[in-house]
Amino acid sequence: MQLPHPPHSHPAALALLAAALLPLAWSLWGAVAAGLDAGAWVALAQAPHTGAALAASVWTGLAATLLATAATAGILAATVGQLHSVAHSNRLTRLLSPLLAVPHAAFAIGLVTLLAPSGWLLRIVSPWATGLSAPPPWPTTQDPWGLGLIVVLVCKEIPFLLWAALAHLQRPDVARRLQQELRLAHTLGYSARAAWWRVGWPQLLPRLAAPLLAVLAYSLAVVDVALIIGPGSPPTLAVLAWQWLQDADSAKNAQGAAAAWLLAATLALCAALAWSLHRAPLWRQRWTGGAQPTVGTAARATRRMPWLLAALVLAYGAVMLALLLGSVVGGWPFPQLLPDSWTWAAWRNVLQSTTTLWTTVWLALASSVAALLWTVAWLEWAPGRWQRLARPLLMLPLVLPAVLWVVGLHRLSLTWGLDTTATGLWLAHTLATLPYVLIALQGPYQGFDPRLRQVAASLGHGRWHFLLRVKWPLLRSALAASVAIGFAVSVAQYLPTLYVGAGRFATVTTEAVNLAASGQRSLTAAYAWLQWLLPVLVFALAARLGRARKF
């Protein structure tokens, strides 16, 4: 029986589209206008560190993206890709929540606490192995090769890519189809792992195009993490652009905008090369072809992926433990393993900063709830064709380099009179969280069984009764998770808070990043721990609200 198409309200959808695209387009135009100065491009080309900084950005960005993608594929093969285990992906989803809640900056600060020449790891081995009496001048952080930055990005992007993949795999129609195809491949003689690499992963990879582009864009243009863990001589091009944009000289500002556009052009070139490679017949045949039903090198490597997942969880635990202990240390001469004293002074300082804490909380709640309300209304009333056409534009904050995006946001806030205001800061954070909330909610919404609407209509219930009593209660887990993800994204915002707030609004993230360069070890660790604690509490609340009811 043919199910009726859901009703659409074109005026409401048009208003929603205008509410989102107007500030997005205005910001994009502001970024474009900032990069039209020909003299700035000449100055950028003549700057002594431009080439080396661009090379550092490309190296760290591509290496982190490729490693995170390979690890994600292997973990999925070892968990979701097995026969009879597609439904077990829910366990992996629950594991990802605390990992997703850790901001990039907090993870970088914790990793520095572990790996620094005076950090925990060297202190653990010094009494028995090194015999050092002072911290050595080793480039374990701020290394010129960007290895520390790559480690942070890989560890942080794996949970995001896993979450994006599971958002597709947990749709009932996709999960059912994938399970059937894996069974069919198994009947042809392929092992479960080989079937995943031949059948499952080639179908999933194109669906991850937007998340992968977002990962590459973030890795190429990250500023706060690069400031914390390096490289430093020269820094990445994103850090150079940020420094020039902070300069009081307008010519330097234009040079910074040109550097941001150079990063955007590099991102576009990398994306075009990746798309061409993926579409190449030889590449597609390599993944999906092959007459011999044998387990290849990739499938054999899959057996080690559960250990990779365990190592990832262990790394997160070690980083957060190092932050927690680092927030309460007192005097701590090297190479002592334990400090001379423990103190709560840093936490007392943090708890006394009620304005910073309150700004972080209200900003994250207001932006995530606003993004959720807009997304629900958009998915509910916008025609499917509109959603497909508008999706690339709505993903702009996700895929544009952050240092370029904030240039447009700053010009928007100046033009609209929202600079240094709470409203302007809320708008900037809402635009940043909107793509994440849309990605989190779109899969569950598209996978919702439309026959339930027909059943409700046959019982005489209208649309609003169906939404309030059937659809939204059944989707409450996805709705709560979307708010939690939006909250975590807002808490982690650094550049938009600095540019639009103009330093008048301090959040735990801006405080943590600023303190990371000040040498105040315990206070930095306390703010970084709080960066994680706030989102993880919201994730825990979302998990509680999303639990199935028992009768």
- Least confident range of 74-78, 193-197, 392-396, 508-512: 193-197
Q: Which two tokens stand for residue 349?
A: 């300082």
Residue range 478-484: average pLDDT? 90
Helix (H, G, I), strand (E, B) or coil at 514: helix
pLDDT digits (tens, 9 = 90+) for 90-104: 677 777 878 888 888
The C-alpha atoms of residue 364 and residue 489 are separated, in whole angstroms, by 8
Q: Residue 82: what pLDDT?
A: 53
Winning range, highest mean pLDDT, from 69-73, 311-315, 368-372, 538-542: 368-372
pLDDT at 382 over 80: yes
Residue range 268-295: average pLDDT? 68
- Interior angle at CA 514, CA 149 and CA 226, nearest 5: 15
In which band, very low, low, confident or very high, does the pLDDT at 351 lie, cut at 50, 70 and 90? confident
Q: Residue 233: what pLDDT?
A: 77
pLDDT at 47 over 50: yes
Helix (H, G, I), strand (E, B) or coil at 333: coil
Residue ranges per structural domain of the chain = 10-326+344-545
Q: Which two tokens stand for residue 549?
A: 């009811």
The C-alpha atoms of residue 498 and residue 8 are separated, in whole angstroms, by 40
In which band, very low, low, confident or very high, does the pLDDT at 269 lie, cut at 50, 70 and 90? very high
Reported for 135-138, long-range contacts at CB under 8 A and 24+ positions apart, including other chains, are 135/334
* HSE, side-chain direction, 13 A CA sphere, residue 458: 7
378's CB contacts (< 8 A; 6+ apart) are 13, 16, 17, 20, 387, 438
Handedness of CA 476, 482, 483, 485 (dihedral sign): positive
pLDDT at 403 over 90: no
Residue range 178-194: average pLDDT? 76
* HSE, side-chain direction, 13 A CA sphere, residue 397: 29
Judge whether 327 and 530 are in contact, CB under 8 Å: no
Query: Residue 406: phi, psi to the nearest 5?
Result: -70, -25
The residue count for the chain = 551
In which band, very low, low, confident or very high, does the pLDDT at 2 lie, cut at 50, 70 and 90? very low
Helices (DSSP H) in 383-450: which residue ranges? 384-394, 396-399, 402-415, 422-446
The C-alpha atoms of residue 525 and residue 545 are separated, in whole angstroms, by 30
Strand partners, 329: 342
In which band, very low, low, confident or very high, does the pLDDT at 166 lie, cut at 50, 70 and 90? confident
Q: Residue 83: what pLDDT?
A: 43
Q: Residue 156: what pLDDT?
A: 92
Q: Residue 187: what pLDDT?
A: 79
pLDDT digits (tens, 9 = 90+) for 111-161: 988 888 877 888 887 766 666 777 777 777 778 888 999 999 999 999 999
Average pLDDT, the chain: 83
Q: Residue 69: what pLDDT?
A: 93
Helices (DSSP H) in 327-383: which residue ranges? 345-352, 354-381
Query: Residue 165: phi, psi to the nearest 5?
Result: -70, -45
- The string of DSSP letters for 82-149 reads STT-GGGHHHHHHHHHHHHTS-HHHHHHHHHHHHSTTSHHHHHHIIIII--SS-----SSS-TT-HHH
DSSP 265: H
The C-alpha atoms of residue 27 and residue 428 are separated, in whole angstroms, by 10
Q: Which two tokens stand for residue 283?
A: 């590449």
Q: Which two tokens stand for residue 183?
A: 């069974």
The C-alpha atoms of residue 211 and residue 435 are separated, in whole angstroms, by 10
Residue 297 belongs to what H/E stretch?
A: helix 297-302
Residue range 514-522: average pLDDT? 80
- Least confident range of 11-25, 278-292, 316-330, 378-392: 278-292
Burial 346-370 (b: 16+ CB within 10 A, else e): bbeebeebeebbebbbebbebbbbb
10-34 and 422-446 helices cross at what angle (nearest 10)? 130
pLDDT digits (tens, 9 = 90+) for 304-324: 556 788 888 899 999 989 888
Q: Residue 305: what pLDDT?
A: 56
pLDDT at 297 over 50: no
- Least confident range of 170-179, 210-219, 426-435: 170-179
Question: Under CATH, to which class is 10-326+344-545 assigned?
Answer: mainly alpha
